[in-house]
Every structure is written in structure tokens, then in C-alpha cells.
Amino acid sequence: MRQEQRELQNVHPPDWRNPEPIGRYAMVIIGAGPAGMLTAMTAARMGAKVALIERSRFGGVWFNVGCISSKAIIRTSRLYAEMRNAEAFGAQVPTDISVAFPAVMERMRRVRAGISRRFSAQRLSSMGVDVYFGAARFAGPDAIEVEGKRLRFKRALVASGARPKLPSIPGIAAAGYLTNENVFELAECPRRLLVLGGGPLACELAQAFCRLGSQVSIVQNDPMFLGNEERDAAQILSDALARDGIDIHLSTDTINVRTEGNQKVVDLVRDDCKSTLTVDEIGIGIGRVPNVEGMNLEAAGVQYDKEVGILTNDYLQTSNPRIYAAGDVCSEKIFPHIEAAAADLVVRNALFWGRERLSALAIPWCTYTDPEIAHVGLYVTEARAKGIPVKTFTVMMHDVDRAITDGEDEGFVKIHVKEGTDKILGATVAASHAGEMISEISLAMNAGIGLSALARVNHPYPTQAQAIKMAADAYLATRHTPTRKWLYKQWLSH
Ligand SMILES: Cc1cc2nc3c(=O)[nH]c(=O)nc-3n(C[C@H](O)[C@H](O)[C@H](O)COP(=O)(O)OP(=O)(O)OC[C@H]3O[C@@H](n4cnc5c(N)ncnc54)[C@H](O)[C@@H]3O)c2cc1C
């Protein structure tokens, strides 16, 4: 069976027959993206009778047109970047490295087909979840309709996700553009690509396509990339993109697009200075809008805002207390990959009288550029805004042995503690493997482990994660007050 057919058989089997609804489900879930699927699996494992409704393909954006596809491509693009830089590592490779773009996309599809087995409609069904294909619509405060069937519920979860936000630039619709919904179907790598946006998705896309051979320009109206991240982390990324050869336009507005033959001509303006870019494709990464339409949320008494999504409280409960919302559709999304945490939280709160708060969770996230930028907890500005005094411990990656031996010595680990204590408030890691490294700090925060305890954690030598221990050691050094030093001296002189 071809990969595409195998994948389709998992994510939307063509011959699927919807089951007959049972009397009343413990939970009915709209949307089989990560938020919906993980909640369905968790609830089913605990013995709840659950129905999961998907109008398109299991896996949602995450699997079909998002995370998995982009990470597979990023991996190959990193390999090409490393090959081009091979000489710096004492290796010899042909000077003319040509990118086999169709093979890159073929690998991405192979990776996807493999992963699709893990969360197929059949697998969910074999776990006891009633799987329905079709567009779901509320028929009242305790019922949902799909394909002519009425499903009654005690609790419901709306996890209908989000779609790309489109810019209102004159001429762009007629010229055509790429979003995450079609970029992974490209048969050829665009020779010249303009990326609009400066958040994680735009930066990942720009760097990956640049490394795969596109001549990439990136334009955004803010003065820095990754608007939410710490400034020095964003600067490291900006420098890395420039080193890759990306043409960067910050604080710049895109005011018009027109086509000339097969080319797209884009007018830009910065500080009243106009300029023009001519490209073959325009990729859009300016944000996401929640999927709130078409579900008749009004009939269920669920309040929403078209821009920010379904309004929830800290327990992920909507204005109808028996209906919850999670993932990208939810106004409380905050983190891109909050779905796993949200699934647990919704199951406990909705089915077991739990009172778990979203705000109590320390959830890390990462931008998968090279270097990666990862963060958990509070930023310094947030802590100060809350009136919490902050002390920061920073270790530069160029002081970390393994980062030096790997030629990956750009970046830093920064851990913020509440001043005068070792309570970790947050951390930013800018490093080649920041996404892996942040987990240790995230574990410490979730388990209430202070920074001094991290100094006692033995790391294998040499690893890049030793930077975390070095930051913790730096904290311990501040505890050696003159009095303590004097006491130690007295004791040791006996
Ligand atoms: C290019 C790209 C790269 C990304 N990379 C990462 C990453 O590296 N790490 C990370 O954590 N996140 C990443 N994300 C974000 C991540 O993909 C999303 O946060 C995640 O998919 C959100 O999951 P969700 O379940 O809320 O919604 P979705 O994945 O959007 O799923 C929602 C599902 O609901 C279905 N649906 C909608 N309306 C209805 C209806 N009325 N009836 C039935 N079904 C309906 C949709 O068809 C869809 O399948 C990336 C996103 C993009 C676009």
C-alpha cells in the first residue's frame, strides 16, 4: 500500500461507518487534533464512555499540516546546513551540494505515515472511543449532532483548533500564497521565497527553506522576532537567520502585492522608505485564528470571540459549565503544545470534580530554529509586573565543554529565581538542543524543586545540559556569605 493510502487509512478511513450513539456519553469531543485525541484517550483509559468527532483527518493541524511535517523538514534542512559547514569540522564534502527537494518531501511523508499508526481512528476505536466522522454542531446545551445522529452528553469538549490568519494586503489573494495548509505539498523548492511574520512558525519556515536552497526574505512589522521571548534570545535567532543568508526586514510593512508574469512583486515600507521585493512564492506565518464558526456554539450557550477563541476560565470551562474548551480554539491557549496538559486537566475537572488550574502548570515551549529558543515559566518582565523581585543566573554556551566540542557554542541558559530564595520562576534556553534542555527546569518547577537541588543533580560529562548545573552552582556560590565562609573556616581549621 502506498504511504498516502496507508496514512489515509489511519487518519480518515474511506470506508468508515459511524457507530450508533449510546444513551448519554460521559464526554463528547469535537475535533481529533492533539487536544481532542489526548483527552479522548485519557478519558477512555479511565473507563469513561467517550465520543470523538472529526470532520476531516485525525491528528488535526499538528499531524497533517503542522508540527510533524515541519519538524521532519527542519531535520533535513539542518543536515544540509551541517554539510555546507562540514569543513569547519575537518570533514571534506563536495563543494557543490544540491538539494534533492522531492526526496526531502518524500521523507517527510514517510515519517508522517509511520507516526499516523499511533493515533489512528481504529486505535481510538479499539480503546473504546466511539469515533464519528463529520462536522459537529451543537443542538442544545447537552447535545451535539453529526451526520444526522444526535449525541447526548454529560460533558463536552470543544477542541476544534485554529487555521492560518491571512493578511489583508491589497493584491495578495490574487497573487496567491503559501500557508501551513499547502506548503507541505510543494513539489519544488521556491527559488525566491518571501516569509511574512516573525513568530515561531515564520522563523522556522524561513530558516528551513533557506537551508533547502530558497533565497529567503523575511518581513515583519515588529522590531524583533519572537515578540514574546527575551530580547537577547530573539537577537541570537536574528543573528543566526542573517548568518544563514536570510534577507531580514524588521519594522517593515507589506503594503501591496502584484503579479508580473510568474513573479510576485511585493512593495514594502519602513520609516517612509519604500522598497520592492520580487519573489516566486509568499509564505504566510502571521498567526492563527480559532475555528469557532459552524458549530452553533450559541445553541449551547458557549461564549466566544472570533479573534481570541472560546472564552474559558482557569479550569478550561466555558460559559456553559458542562462544556470545556482546549487547544488552539481556546482563549487560554497561551502555549502552542498545551494539549497534553490540557487533556489531563479537562478529564480531571470535567469527569472527576477536579479543580486544577491551567495557570498552576509550568509548561515549556520551544521554537525549533537553529539554535532553538525554549522557555518555561515567567519572563523577568512578567515577574516584575507581579512585584516579584528576580535574580537571574546565566551560563553562556561557549563556557560549556560539550557545546564547544560540538561546535554549538552559541546561546545561553538563563534561570530566574525569586531573589533571596532558590525558587525557580522561569528560564530561557537558547541553544542547539534547548527543547531537550528546558525539560529539566520544567520538571524542577512542576515538582517544586529549587535551584540549589539542581546543583546536586549529576549530569553525564560532557553534556550541554550541564549548563543547567553550572547555573545552579552559580546560585550556590551566592549563598557563601562572609559569615558562612568564616564558619566553614573555623570548622575546617580544627
Ligand atoms: C507549521 C506548524 C508547526 C507547528 N509546530 C509545532 C511544534 O513544533 N510544537 C508544538 O507544540 N506545536 C506546533 N504547532 C502548533 C500545533 O500544531 C497546534 O498547537 C495543535 O495542532 C493544536 O491542536 P488542537 O487539537 O487544538 O487543534 P488542531 O490540531 O487544529 O485540531 C482540531 C481538529 O478539529 C477538527 N474540527 C474543527 N471543527 C470541527 C467540527 N465542527 N466538527 C468536527 N471536527 C472539527 C479539525 O478538522 C481538526 O482536525 C505548529 C503549527 C503549525 C501550523
10-residue mean pLDDT profile of the chain (494 residues): values are 79 95 96 95 95 97 95 98 95 88 97 89 96 98 98 97 96 98 97 98 98 98 94 97 98 98 97 96 96 98 96 95 94 63 87 88 94 96 96 98 97 97 98 98 96 95 97 93 81 82
Between the CA of 162 and the centroid of ligand 1 the distance, in Å, is 6
Candidate of 28, 30, 67 to mutate for ligand 1, largest count of ligand atoms within 8 Å of Cβ: 67
Ligand 1 atom 2: residue of nearest CA: 66
Nearest alpha-carbon partner for 40 in 94, 98, 49, 183:
49
Give me the pLDDT at residue 492, please.
85
Ligand 1 atom 48: residue of nearest CA: 60
Residue 226 to residue 200: CA distance in whole angstroms? 6
Ligand 1 atom 45: residue of nearest CA: 31
Give me the pLDDT at residue 279, please.
98
Residue 405 to residue 349: CA distance in whole angstroms? 48
Between the CA of 180 and the centroid of ligand 1 the distance, in Å, is 11
Residue 174 to residue 196: CA distance in whole angstroms? 16
Give me the pLDDT at residue 298, please.
98
Q: Which residue has the cell 461564549?
A: 303
What number does the ligand 1 atom closest to the CA of 183 have?
A: 1
Between the CA of 32 and the centroid of ligand 1 the distance, in Å, is 9
Q: Where is 211: in which H helix or E strand?
A: helix 200-211
Give me the pLDDT at residue 335, please.
56
Q: What share of the chain is helix, strand, coil (3-state, %, to 5)?
A: 40, 25, 40
Q: Which residue has the cell 464512555?
A: 49
Ligand 1 atom 16: residue of nearest CA: 62
Ligand 1 atom 1: residue of nearest CA: 66
Cβ < 6 A, ligand 1 pocket: 30-36, 53-56, 60-62, 66-67, 70-71, 135-136, 159-162, 180, 201, 291, 294-295, 327-329, 336-337, 339, 368
Peptide bond into 223 cis (omega under 30): no
Give me the pLDDT at residue 358, please.
86
Q: Which residue has the cell 553550572?
A: 470
Ligand 1 atom 33: residue of nearest CA: 31
Q: Residue 305 burial (CB < 10 Å; 0-12/13-18/19+)? A: exposed
Give me the pLDDT at residue 3, please.
75
What number does the ligand 1 atom closest to the CA of 338 have?
A: 11
Ligand 1 atom 52: residue of nearest CA: 66
Residue 481 to residue 491: CA distance in whole angstroms? 15
For residue 52 the three cell numbers come to 470523538
Candidate of 58, 74, 111, 160 to mutate for ligand 1, largest count of ligand atoms within 8 Å of Cβ: 160
Give me the pLDDT at residue 54, please.
98
Give me the pLDDT at residue 216, please.
98
